[in-house]
Amino acid sequence: MRTFSSGEKAGRRRPPFARGGSRTWLRWTAVCAIALLPALMMEGRGAVAAKRSLPAAGVNSNVDGFPVLFNETGANAGLKLWVIGHHGYVPGTAPKISCVDVATGTLCPVKNGVGTWPLPLNTKAIPFNTGTAGDISTSQVVQFVTDPSRTKVFYPAITRTASPGYPNGSVGAGCLDLQNQYNCAYTPLAPLTSTAGQSNVNGITGFVRANSQLHGVTTSGQVVCMNTSNQQPCNGQPYAGGVPPNEDKAGLGPGNFIGSMTAVNERLYITSNGRNPARNTSPHDPTLSCFDTGTAAPCAGWGTKVLTTAADAYISTSVFPAYNAGGTVTGVCTVTGKQSVAAPTVACFDLNGAAMATPPGLADVFPGGGVGSVSFQPTSLAVGGNLRTYFPFYSQDSRYPGAALCYNWSTQARCTQFPTPNRHPGVNGGNVRDYAYVGGVNCLYGSGDRRYAFSMNPATGEHGC
């Protein structure tokens, strides 16, 4: 990838911290459901495949990208791990989607028997395998949102293809019907621009769901919004987001938004990275911003938070809710990697925007010693009655060629039994460069830069479920 660039056992019992009252329990489960929405969608439809674990050696998906888990019904029923390619600068014609059949540990059959994985993505509502050239690029950190029926998956997309009102191309919501291996219609949300001396829309990041809508952020710092029920843009969008632009100079698009986002209590929290004056109209240190989807404006009293001014700061591409031991959200935290061998910086803020102490032991989860450390968006779930967050991690110098890190919010410490860092020596010799995980208490599935899909036991970290 080029980037600017638990003594606990798995179980179903109610967490012990829920006994004090139902409100805390509901808050905790609601946030976990948002964090795991893709996985919940896939495992909630039809019969779950009997076999959950991918081969110990992983499966080569042939795609450098991010995972989506889907439970297919019908003749080829069972869990499928889809991998969607990333980066806005990758040509739209390049193949970007692949499918791994969990039950067989092999690539999925291509419907109609035409073509081989990976296949291209398209703005047109057509099957993946028609032979039509692709015309979509994606984002640096690809995050997914589903429609209310849980049959469509939306992803951040960039295209040069003209559409009404967008003669020079656009950024918007790409759409996947994974059951039928089909591109559903793309929805443009903001025009691509390239005007010297101005902040331009070259790319997009996201998506996350808030207020029953899909949201993302453009390189110019605007917040885009789509109603997932009808795939129509929200009224008045794109909104002035108050997010420092990045990768917004003229001539860079299609390209990456360097950052990521999460949603808590209908607010969006967005990281942005833009130190390079050759690529940014207003160079800045890594930042965190807040956008209120209820008012469609930046969060009142929040402003922009500088995450670190350290000269060796790399990029902040991980922002996530912070919890107390009872499972209540107390704020948001970020992770900023380093270009030196120093461990990443962890910075936290309460929901009113004030700096907050880092939860005990959270920073210690992230190891030093690797140059160019990277941690993308984590995954949170309950394991053995404890709320855990799993962080993908690697370093550009391959000191850490790929590992999962685990923090237990219920004990306010790193997870026990689950090794941290948990490397993957049997998968491509350990050279994985983890991007993201999906799944539940039975199994976690991951993908990364080196094009391998793999699975882990979320309780023990073993590469088998």
DSSP one-letter string for 9-46: ----SPPGGGGG-HHHHHHHHHHHHHHTHHHHHHHTSS
Residue 444 near residue 81 (C-beta atoms within 8 A): no
Residue 283's pLDDT band, with cuts at 50, 70 and 90, is very high
Predicted local distance difference test score (pLDDT) of residue 9: 31
pLDDT at 112: 81
Tell me the β-bridge partners of 240: 222
The domains found in the chain, sorted by start residue, are 16-456 (2.130.10.10)
Closest by CA to 452, choosing from 14, 144, 67, 29, is 67
pLDDT in tens, 1-45: 433 333 333 333 333 333 233 333 333 333 343 344 443 344 333
Using DSSP's 3-state secondary structure scheme, residue 98 falls into strand
For 241-259, the pLDDT digits (tens) are: 999 999 999 999 999 999 9
Judged by average pLDDT, the poorest of 54-58, 181-185, 189-193, 461-465 is 461-465
pLDDT tens digits for range 133-159: 999 999 999 999 999 999 999 999 999
Amino acid, single-letter form, for residue 265: N
For the chain, helix, strand, coil in percent to 5 are 10, 40, 55
pLDDT value for 134: 96
Pairing of strands 379-383, 373-374: unpaired
Band of pLDDT at residue 114, cut at 50, 70 and 90: confident
Q: What is the pTM of this model?
A: 0.90
Q: Is the model's pLDDT at 402 over the cut of 50? A: yes
Residue type, 408: N
| CB neighbour class for 230 (10 Å; exposed up to 12, middle 13-18, buried from 19) | exposed
- pLDDT for the residue numbered 343: 97
| DSSP letter for each residue of 392-415 | EEEETTSSSSSEEEEEETTTTEEP
